[in-house]
Amino acid sequence: MPLVSLSEILPQARRQKRAVGAFNVANYECALGVLKAAEAEKMPVIIQVFQRLFRSEKGSDLAGTLLRLAHRCKQPVVLQLDHGAEPDQIRAALAAGFSSVMFDGSKLPFDKNVELTKFAADYAGTFGASCEGEIGHVAMGDESAITTVADAVKFYQATKVDALAVSIGTVHGYYTSEPKIDAERCREIADALPEVPLVLHGGSGTPPEDIRKVIENGISKINIATEYMDTFLKSVRRQLDLLGGKFKPIDLFMDPVVDDCAAHVARLMRFFAGK
Ligand SMILES: [Zn+2]
């Protein structure tokens, strides 16, 4: 089916207190794993491509494959640029056919973040695409800045993004110490913005009980990059070990790897949906 935007799947998820998984991919096999899981579970899904791939031709090259896979999928698929860092990446992703973009100005001064996010939201709108923004900052490591309720409200009113990423204690990458997730702050932001789908970045490795709590408190999109890519890489290593130095054509070699990836996504999709 045709691609959908965030605004076609997230408001409903927020109302029903469930979350849609957003999985980062950088190759065909990881993308195939996500879409196989969506079909098996009969659930919508979000595929994300990190902004670094748009610093070269990788992002646009990959877009051709992703669009074909998404169109063939029988479930709604959002194709989103993740952490767009500059307006040119927003333009490139939308020109390549993406149905959603994130602009991440979370490290910029508030007004600059508003200005560039609003550009991204307005520009995406001309394509019928959606836009995610971020206020507060989810870092790699311990430099995160927890989102305040006042900033979240002011930022949303100024940008009218379709989804709002908030910083409530998760980090990008794997945790190096026990995470402290501020579910109460999440609830306060959700209460102040009752219609707005909230996004959790840095979902990888977050304890399930924390994930459950924040979904209950307004999170309706959960980003998973690190642990999904890790599953892919570990599965490749397992297959190589099984071969013991023998040769196998790559397409056949990858079939069980795709199955491992699909199983990982399906498990998370069910959990995020409260099943
Ligand atoms: Zn992120």
At 233 the pLDDT is 98
201-220: average pLDDT: 95
pLDDT at res. 70: 96
Local structure of 233: helix, strand or coil: helix
pLDDT at 178 (0 to 100): 84
pLDDT for 132-169, tens place per residue?
Answer: 999 998 987 666 789 999 999 999 999 999 999 999 99
pLDDT given at position 150: 97
User: For 259-263, what is the mean pLDDT?
Assistant: 98
Report the distance separating Cα 105 and Cα 115, nearest Å. 9
**In contact, 134 and 163? CB cutoff 8 Å:** no
Cα 165 to ligand 1 centroid, rounded to whole Å: 9
Q: In the structure encoding, which two tokens stand for residue 44, read together?
A: 């919508």
State the DSSP code for 147: P
212 burial level (CB within 10 Å; 0-12, 13-18, 19+): middle
Q: Is the dihedral angle over the CA atoms 169, 186, 137, 231 positive or is it negative? A: positive
Q: How far is the CA of 198 from the centre of ligand 1 (A)?
A: 13
Three-class SS of residue 15?
Answer: helix
Q: What is the rounded (10 degree) CA torsion for 135, 140, 146, 149?
A: 20
Q: Annotated catalytic, 82?
A: yes
CB atoms within 10 A of CB 29: 21
- A 10 A CB-CB count for 263 gives 15
Average pLDDT of the chain to the nearest whole number: 96
C-beta of residue 218 within 8 angstroms of C-beta of residue 192:
no
Q: Which of 61, 82, 182, 191 is catalytic?
A: 82
- Percent of the chain scoring above 90 in pLDDT: 92
pLDDT digit string (tens) for 67-102? 999 999 999 999 999 999 999 999 999 999 999 999
The rounded Å distance from CA 218 to ligand 1 centre is 17
Ion ligand 1 residues within 5 Å by Cβ: 201
User: Quick one: pLDDT at residue 142?
Assistant: 64
Q: Give the span between the Cα atoms of 133 and 145, in whole angstroms.
A: 15
CA of 119 to the centre of ligand 1 (A): 20
Topology, domain 6-226: TIM Barrel (3.20.20)
Q: Residue written as tokens 């870092």?
A: 139
| pTM greater than 0.85 (yes/no) | yes
Q: What pLDDT score was predicted for residue 220?
A: 98
Q: Check pLDDT > 80 for residue 65.
A: yes
First-to-last alpha carbon distance for the chain, in angstroms, is 25
9-19 tens-digit pLDDT:
999 999 999 99
Cα(244) to centroid(ligand 1), Å: 37
The gap from C-alpha 43 to its chain's centroid, in whole angstroms, comes to 15
Q: Residues 30, 261: contact at Cβ < 8 Å? A: yes
Number of other residues whose CB lies within 10 A of the CB of residue 66: 23
Query: What is the number of residues in the chain?
Result: 275
CA of 1 to the centre of ligand 1 (A): 27
For residue 218, pLDDT over 70 is answered with: yes
CB 49 within 8 A of CB 62: yes
Distance (angstroms) between ligand 1 centre and the Cα of 131 equals 14
Ligand 1 centre to CA of 223 (Å) is: 7
Question: What does residue 26 show for φ and ψ, rounded to 5 degrees?
Answer: -140, 10
Domain ranges of the chain: 6-226
